[in-house]
Amino acid sequence: MGVEKRPNGKLKTCRVHDLLHKFCLEKSKQENFLLHINGFSGEDSFPEMCMDYRLFVHSSEDQIDLWQPSRSNVRSLLFNVIDSDNLLWPHDVSFIFNSFKLVKVLDLESVNIGGTFPSEIQFLIHLKYFAAKTGGNSIPSCIANLWNLETFVIRGLGGEVILPSSLLKMVKMRNIHVTHRASFSLHENMGESLADSQLDNLETFSTPHLVYGEDTEMLLRKMPKLRKLSCIFSGTFGYSEKVKGKCVPFPRLDILSHLESLKIVSNSYPAKLPHVFSFPSRLRELTLSKFRLPWSQILSIGELPNLKILKLLLRAFEGDEWEVNDSEFRELKYLELGDLNITRWSVSEDAFPLLERLVLTKCKCLEKIPSHFDDAVSLKSIEVNWCSWDVAHSAEEIQAIQHDEMANDAFKVTIQPPDWDRNSSP
């Protein structure tokens, strides 16, 4: 069994041996927990009458198109459809809306349901979980008729997906995930659109397009229990008393008192102006990408009292040198730097007192890893991916000190590619 964990230590993926997988499927069938239909095996057939409560279909798209089941008692219907030749080809799934009226979990994320979102879905009133892949750029307002819906997942194939304002009134909604970008279709009068909003139970939301302004703040205030937010940010110019001059203000996030995980990708042209952030103090995980901020602006992040995981990716910060002071990152356990143009990195003696994992990816200008980590008691591993040989060599030196002088035999260094050419860098 292979297990991959997230930076916070929680399980991300689990891989099992094919024999164990087969045993689990047989056992689930015997106990009427889950019926697995494998359209590729030749042994399974697509049933006309579906009496099982949970059904998992693994087949090609052509087989799905030919399946015409009668009414069934299925409560959970999951598809894993594979057809490498027609990945973007839309398919008619209307039979689902006619034959599976009692379904509560419907996973169509591997099936392209077409450019027009099917309005018939509004009749599946028992749905709690719905996922689909669509080439359309909008969701119909009738989605709000699914008053039991708790999780809504859309894999968009055509760019931005516009969500209806009616979705803001779905009281039981807990999770909204849209790939790759979402926006709301709101009236000119934002207050009127949000007056009846009832997203009080929403906990996770990705990936809305946010801009600074009262409208965005008003929208976020309607999500008081939001714990995880992944968003795209387009900046505008403004004035801030905090920096006493022009700046790029960011939407106020300190109003989200329950927010613990935040991912932001900047969609703006680098302005070379200070950005004004207001992160909630409860924040535990932060990922920034494409902001091109000066390193002087990292101070507000380093002072976050509960920050455990920090990822700075794709030129999140720009500049030759990053100096980390004693008072910064007191609780940080995981730090990832990816595709940054940093050259020199210095760390004060008492900084990063709890850091356990350090990941460096494509930081090709970095001269070396700070010697501060030579005797870092908390550090468990360093991962170096496609950096210079000097960085890889400094990681090996830290490992030697950790093993020989600190007696930390569990300390681990991983270098990619493993067959590193010591005479050159990628």
**Do 274 and 190 fall into the same domain?**
yes
pLDDT at 424: 47
35-38 vs 54-59, strand pairing mode:
parallel
**Do 284 and 310 fall into the same domain?**
no
**Do 270 and 122 fall into the same domain?**
yes
- pLDDT tens digits for range 218-243: 889 999 999 999 999 987 766 555 65
pLDDT at 127: 97
**Do 258 and 196 fall into the same domain?**
yes
- pLDDT tens digits for range 359-393: 999 999 999 999 999 999 999 999 999 999 999 99
**Do 270 and 149 fall into the same domain?**
yes
CATH code of the domain in which 49 resides: 3.80.10
pLDDT at 204: 98
**Residues of 245-283 as b/e, b for ≥16 C-beta within 10 angstroms?**
eebbbbbbbeebeebbbbbbbbebeebebbbbbebbebb
**Do 14 and 115 fall into the same domain?**
yes
| Sign of the alpha-carbon torsion through 204, 206, 210, 215 | negative
| Domain closes at, from 274, 293, 312 | 293
Backbone angles phi, psi at 308, to 5 degrees: -110, -30
**Do 192 and 326 fall into the same domain?**
no
Asked whether residue 188 carries a pLDDT value surpassing 80, the answer given is no
**Do 93 and 214 fall into the same domain?**
yes
**Do 269 and 232 fall into the same domain?**
yes
**Do 320 and 344 fall into the same domain?**
yes
C-alpha angle 245-291-206 in degrees, rounded to nearest 5: 115
Q: How many domains does the chain have?
A: 2
| Domain closes at, from 233, 261, 293 | 293
Query: What is the rounded average pLDDT of the residues 98-126?
Result: 91
Backbone angles phi, psi at 165, to 5 degrees: -65, -25
| 40 and 18 Cβ atoms separated by less than 8 Å | no
> Could you tell me the pTM of the whole model?
0.89
Asked whether residue 422 carries a pLDDT value surpassing 60, the answer given is no
Look up residue 158 and give its two tokens: 């055509």
How many angstroms separate the CA atoms of 349 and 206, rounded? Answer: 38
* Average pLDDT value for the chain: 86
**Do 122 and 37 fall into the same domain?**
yes
5: number of CA atoms within 13 Å, CB side? 6
Asked whether residue 320 carries a pLDDT value surpassing 80, the answer given is yes
Backbone angles phi, psi at 192, to 5 degrees: -65, -40
Closest CA to 356 of 335, 385, 384, 326: 335
- Find the domain containing 186 and state its range: 2-293
